[in-house]
Structure 1
Amino acid sequence: MATAIAPPPGIYVPAVLFYDNDDELDLVAIKSHVLRLAKGGITGILVQGSNGEAQHLSHEERKLAIQTTRQTLDQNGFSHTVVLAGTGAQSTRETIKLCRDAKEAGATFALVLTPSTWVPQMTRENIINFHRKVADASPIPTMIYNFPVVTAGQDLDSDIISVLATHPNIVGTKLSCGNIGKLHRLTTTHTQSSFAVFAGRSDVFTQGLLSGSAGAIAALVNLLPKVHAHVYEVFKAGRIEDAMTLQGKLAHGDSAVSKAGGIAGLKGLITKHFGYGNGVVRGPLASAVEEKLRLAEEGKLIELIELEKSL
């Protein structure tokens, strides 16, 4: 197996999906969101990350979401924008199928969660074997998605991820654990071109860049793509103090969105300030509540939204 190339560095967004009043995918709103993100200067879109409610979708809906994203980008002059697909499932067999589906639908990379139904059996050996078997069979390069919140507390350490990084078809990781020490250990062990390490949260975005990350794959980019792209450019220009000042605001923004109700709150804020979609999520999640949105807007978040609109 030839060694695959890692995704390019930059800003990636685990895109939310929108539903209509009949609980079907709202393709008009999804297309509007994809276009706003692309125009905001992002490097790529992750379809079916945790914010994309992957576990709430059928296989057919997953493929449709990827196809819609890729086609919308291509038809509007953003063929260079990368599409990643979340392909995590509870069995090796289904995960491989989702990787194959993602390739057929137009994704370039697959982001793979560690199975979490049988945590006591997810030993170090089983975790490594799972990701290796998926990577062996996947027609597109895979990435390790480390997110303890959605994998029953499993937090892959840098040793496990480093072992997996040597596989020729495993090309990166999204660290939603927010552990900068882990990120730094990985960036100083592997080259960015062979294994890209991305911060998985906006509140450690610039800290990750200082530690050699390839960028970020972060939920807040859904709301603030231009701000994140701006911070990235400021950092690359060597204006570290300015980047860290903006980073302080991003940290407050990340916290505010979580208080707004997570995925639902994020969608509600997008609808309120950018005029498409709604704050509806699939059960058992609860939809957006206006009172929580107002509380989230207090302080730095509204400043960031105003900055987004001014850029």
Structure 2
Amino acid sequence: MKTEQLYGTGVALVTPFAEDGSVDLPALRRIVRHCIDGGVDYLVVLGTTGEAVTLDESEKTRVVQTVIDENNGSLPLVIGIGGNNTARLVDELKKSDLSAFTAVLSVSPYYNKPTQEGIYRHYQALADASPLPVILYNVPGRTGSNMLPSTVARIARDCPNVVAIKEACGNMDQIRELIRTVPEGFNVISGDDITALPTILEGGIGVISVLGQGMPVQMSSLVRHGLNGEYDKAQQIHEALKPGMDLIFQEGNPAGIKAIFELLGISGAGVRLPLVEASPQLKSKISSFIEPFAITI
């Protein structure tokens, strides 16, 4: 795989729901089109933001096919295949038709709280089974364990088809160490909107964004300026977007970004339990935030 396909702004797509709780496929098409028209560089389907853990297999199939159809080859696609049962994931990777995708994004095992050796062996097994390049995903706030830079570097050295990491530890000291530690050619992608620009400035290649699907023009511009070395322009956009980066996570992800889509008239704001829809108070704050951007959203 040409890792240039992962440069820039990827977005972790939501799964929109209709009022009866079913998957709203027409709204998903509108979201995909909104992202493509807004200038993002690639799309990620069935990630955390897509509430994949609450979708049954039939729903996942329909979501994937809808994104493939609406994208129609416009952008590279990445699929989330992750969990805490290594054997099940190996089986899924071997049996799934992944021909429409550029890479697999796989989260570090959650709940089990494996050691660093366990994390290494988990990814080694996935790398051996995967027909596509693999992107690691470190998000300690959700998984209960932190994949250390030394472990990432070991995986990168020993598993040639593990090509990048989505790093969402939120700790810039760790991100700097990670970028210094991994072998040449292995790429670091910010997993948090708030660390996107700092990560790029340290040598990262972009972000897999949540806010970017609601505000694709602005987030893509931020990342593009950063990667082009136009740091003043990038910082100016970062400061303008920072309140929104905070707001959309105040009541959990993806409640906040779905509130933006509701305000834009693209999809509803519903989420599936145990998540709950953004409160009226948060929606009001988000509305005030996006109002100045309304012309270009």
Q: Over residues 185-206 of structure 1, what are the superposed CA-to-partner deviations in whole Å (9 max), with x where a residue is unaligned?
A: 33334467x3221011111111
CA 1:262/1:238 → structure 2, altered by over 3 Å: closer, same or farther? same
Distance in 2 between the 1:92 and 1:9 partners?
Answer: 28
State the superposition RMSD in angstroms.
2.1
Q: Once the two structures are superposed, what CA deviation does each residue of 1:202-261 show, in whole Å capped at 9, x if it has no partner?
A: 111111111010100121112111101111232344321221122122222211112255
Query: What is aligned with 2:281?
Result: 291
Instruction: Indicate yes or no: 2:70 matched with 1:72.
Output: yes
- Correspondence for 1:110: 104
Indicate the residue corresponding to 1:270 in structure 2: 261
Q: Partner residue of 1:159?
A: 150
Counterpart of 1:62?
60
In 1: Cα distance, 2:154 partner to 2:183 partner: 14
Match of 1:307 in 2: 293
Q: Separation in 1 of the partners of 2:34 and 2:96?
A: 23
Partner deviation per Cα, 1:41-80 (whole Å, 9 max, x = no partner): 1111111111110111122322322221111111xxxx24
1:219 & 1:197 partners in 2: Cα distance? 17
Contact 1:17 1:25 in 2 (8 A): yes
**How does the TM-score come out when normalised to structure 1?**
0.88
Whether contact under 8 Å (1:14, 1:222) holds in the other structure is yes
Residue 138 of structure 1: aligned partner: 130
Q: Give me the TM-score of the superposition, normalised by structure 2.
A: 0.91
Output the CA distance in 2 between the equivalents of 1:256 and 1:16. 17
Q: For residues 117 and 189 of structure 1, do their structure 2 counterparts lie closer, same or farther at Cα, with a shift above 3 Å needed?
A: closer
Contact 1:63 1:101 in 2 (8 A): no
SS at match of 1:11: strand
Gaps of 5+ in 2: none
Equivalent in the alignment of 1:39: 37
Distance 1:308 1:188, change over 3 A: farther
Distance in 2 between residues matched to 1:173 and 1:264, nearest whole Å: 25
**How many angstroms apart in 1 are the aligned matches of 2:222 and 2:265?**
25
Q: Percent identity?
A: 25
Q: 1:105: how far off?
A: 6.6
Give distance in 2, aligned partners of 1:38 and 1:292: 27
AA of the residue aligned to 1:138: S
The C-alpha deviation readout for 1:22-52, integer Å capped at 9, x for no partner, is 3221110000000100111111111111111
Match in the other structure for 2:79: 85
Task: Classify 1:236/1:127 alpha carbon distance in 2 versus 1 (closer, same or farther; 3 Å).
Answer: closer
Q: CA deviation at 1:160?
A: 0.8
Q: 1:88, 1:111 within 8 Å by CA — same for their partners in 2?
A: yes
Q: Are the equivalent residues in 1 in contact too, given 2:205–2:227 (CA < 8 A)?
A: no
Cα distance in 1 for residues equivalent to 2:269 and 2:146:
30
Quick check: 1:228 aligned with 2:219? yes
The answer as to 2:167 corresponding to 1:179 is no
Q: Which residue of 2 aligns with 1:198?
A: 189
Report the CA distance between 1:103 and its aligned residue. 4.0
The amino acid that maps onto 1:284 is P
Report the 3-state secondary structure (helix = DSSP H, G, I; strand = E; otherwise coil) of the residue aligned with 1:248. helix
SS at match of 1:216: strand
> Would the aligned equivalents of 1:259 and 1:296 in 2 still touch at CA under 8 Å?
no
Name the SS for the 2:257 alignment partner.
helix
CA distance in structure 2 between the aligned counterparts of 1:183 and 1:289, rounded to whole angstroms: 33
Structure 1: segments with no counterpart, 5+ residues: none
